[in-house]
Chains A and B, each alone.
Chain A
Amino acid sequence: QKEVEQDPGPLSVPEGAIVSLNCTYSNSAFQYFMWYRQYSRKGPELLMYTYSSGNKEDGRFTAQVDKSSKYISLFIRDSQPSDSATYLCAMRVGQGAQKLVFGQGTRLTINP
Chain B
Amino acid sequence: AQSVSQHNHHVILSEAASLELGCNYSYGGTVNLFWYVQYPGQHLQLLLKYFSGDPLVKGIKGFEAEFIKSKFSFNLRKPSVQWSDTAEYFCAVIPYSSASKIIFGSGTRLSIRP
Chains A and B bind each other: no
- Write the residues of chain A forming the contact surface with B, with a CB cutoff of 8 angstroms: none
Identify the B interface with A (CB < 8 A).
none
